[in-house]
Amino acid sequence: MPMNNASPVRALAKRYAENLLERRAYVVARRQLIDAIVAGHTAWGEEEVRALPAPPVVPTMCTLGEFDSTLELPRPPGTARDQNGRGWWLVLGLTLSMLGVAFWLWKELP
Amino acid sequence: MSSSDPAVRRRTGIAPVSGAFTWSSAAATHVGHVRQINEDAYCARPDIGLWAVADGLGGHSAGDLASQTVVAGLARLRPQPQLSLMVDFIEHSLLASNARLLTLAGDTQTIGSTVIALTVVGDFAAYLWVGDSRLYRYRGGNLRQLSTDHSQVERYIEQGLLLRADAAAHPHGHLLTRAIGARHDLRVDVDLCALQAGDRFLLCSDGLDKHVAPAEIAALLAEGEATAVSAALLDLTLARGAADNVTLCLVDIRHADE
């Protein structure tokens, strides 16, 4: 028996269930999506739902407290320094590789 | 015992026109042959295009209270001009029932229920569900399960760990991943369906699909009035032992000019 599991409305609900959307954003996006489908502005049919783009995430008004808790996530100590360190090692490796290739070309080429 | 017994509660209704479509519906519930009380409940509001089936969680406290709380909240809803608003109100009602059941249960017990709700506005239907109460649609000779169970077995199937054919016999078949009254951060699933004349929707508790295979449901949905078909589905379930409570709502969609 066929199952129904790929519509954009359901995909939106799934993102909310997985905590990828804040509740207010979810409710607003769902309302807009359903209105668009009912008005015929969004393609709808069980054969074509897989081709539909992901439903829009509509930004909503947030309180300052919500911004404080979501925009600035705490980092583990030393993370930024470690990332910079990795970058310098990458540059050094690439430079040495290029020098090696240049030395080989200088020796091998007539 | 058959569905003609007084133990069967049944209701039928014909609704006003919505968009290009009109509908008729029938609903029935039965305690079954094993359970002592009926922990299922249903809401049939064809006047506003709303139907729901709720299944109180067996083995927990007051399953009948849970399912009745859920359908009572839905039964109080008023019609809305837009499908999106109706979805908002249904979800709000289910979240309110969730909060109420959590308060009633306290910290030491669970008062839980599943639910499947169907609403029709204009040329579309929306359905919302929590748990393993199901919505089927019969269209053009084909039966399709529209809802997807919130169950451990369904999760195994999604992860590729279990074949759907083996799901019915799996020892974790009774484990739910979502229920009203189980957690504060309840997530209600929702989806839409574009209506066609001749569509037949079946909302049911798992007491039906435990005993009746999809092919048998399809065969019974193929013809007959909603009241007769719902009685036939109930009779077949009872004839097979009805180990659980069984509840179903059947909704027939027709062109408004038929």
Q: Residue A86 corresponds to which tokens in the numbers above?
A: 């990795």
Residue A28, class by beta-carbon neighbours within 10 Å (0-12 exposed, 13-18 middle, 19+ buried)?
Answer: middle
| Alpha-carbon distance A14 to nearest alpha carbon in chain B (angstroms) | 8
- CA-based nearest residue in chain A for residue B177: A17
Mean of per-residue pLDDT scores for chain B: 90
CB B41 within 8 A of CB B56: yes
**pLDDT for position A53:** 43
- Of B3-12, B43-52, B215-224, the one with minimum mean pLDDT is B3-12
Answer whether B22's CB lies under 8 Å from B35's CB: no
> In chain B, what are the helix, strand and coil shares in percent, each to the nearest 5?
30, 30, 40
- List, in order, residues 6 or more apart from B230 with CB less than 8 Å away: B10, B26, B27, B28, B248, B249, B250
Query: What is the average pLDDT across B145-153?
Result: 92
Has residue B70 got a pLDDT over 60?
A: yes
pLDDT of residue B164 exceeding 50, the answer is yes
- Identify the bridge partners of residue B60 per DSSP, sorted by sequence position: none
Closest CA to A6 of B146, B236, B132, B23: B146
Q: Most A CBs within 10 Å: which of B190, B202, B216, as the mutation test of the A interface?
A: B190
Structure confidence at residue A1 as a pLDDT band (50, 70, 90): low
The answer to whether the CB atoms of B143 and A1 lie below 8 A apart is: yes
Predicted confidence (pLDDT) at residue A74 exceeds the cutoff of 50: no
Residue B155 in contact with partner chain A when CB distance is under 8 A: no
- B191 and chain A: CB distance < 8 Å anywhere? yes
**Is B168 within 8 Å of chain A by CB?**
no
**CA distance, residue B171 to nearest chain A CA (Å):** 22
Quick one: which of B143, B175, B173, B134 has its CA closest to B51?
B134
**A57: nearest Cα among A5, A6, A15, A18:** A15
pLDDT band at residue A5 using 50, 70 and 90 as cut-offs: low
Give pTM, 2 decimals: 0.78
Q: Which residues pair with B68 in a beta bridge?
A: none
Q: Indicate yes or no: CB of B146 within 8 angstroms of CB of A7.
A: no
At residue A65, the pLDDT reads 29
Residues A18-46 have a mean pLDDT of: 90
Give this complex's ipTM: 0.88
pLDDT number for residue B4: 53
pLDDT score recorded for residue A58: 40
The end-to-end CA distance of chain A, in Å, is 73
Location of structure tokens 């509509």: A58
Q: What is the pLDDT of residues B116-134, one digit of tens each?
A: 999 999 999 999 999 999 9
- A52 interface with B at CB cutoff 8 Å: no
Q: Is the pLDDT of residue B26 over 60?
A: yes
Please, which residues 42-101 of chain B have a Cβ atom closer than 8 Å to chain A? 82-85, 87-88
> Do A30 and B190 lie within an 8 Å CB cutoff?
yes
Q: Cβ neighbours of residue B120 under 8 Å, at least 6 residues apart?
A: B18, B21, B23, B49, B50, B195, B251, B253
Q: Nearest by CB to B82, from A16, A35, A44: name it.
A: A35
A4 shares contact with chain B (CB less than 8 Å): yes
> Distance from B1 to chain A by nearest Cα, in Å?
31
Burial (0-12, 13-18, 19+ Cβ within 10 Å), B210 = middle
Choose the most confident range, by mean pLDDT, from A47-56, B56-65, B221-230.
Answer: B221-230
CB-based contacts of B242, cutoff 8 Å, min separation 6:
B30, B32, B33, B34, B207, B211
Which residues partner with B82 through β-bridges?
A: none
What CA–CA distance (Å, rounded) separates B195 from A9? 16
- Inter-chain contact B83–A34, Cβ cutoff 8 Å? yes
> What's the number of CA atoms in the CB half-sphere (13 Å) around residue B103?
7
d(CA A110, CA B19): 85
Cα gap B220→B228, rounded to integer Å: 10
- 8 A C-beta contact, residue B202 and residue B221: yes
Calculate how close chain B gets to A76, using CA atoms only, in Å.
28
A41, two tokens: 């502005």
Q: Mean pLDDT over residues B174-184, rounded? A: 90
Tens-digit pLDDT profile for residues A25-37 = 999 999 999 999 9
- DSSP letter at B162? S
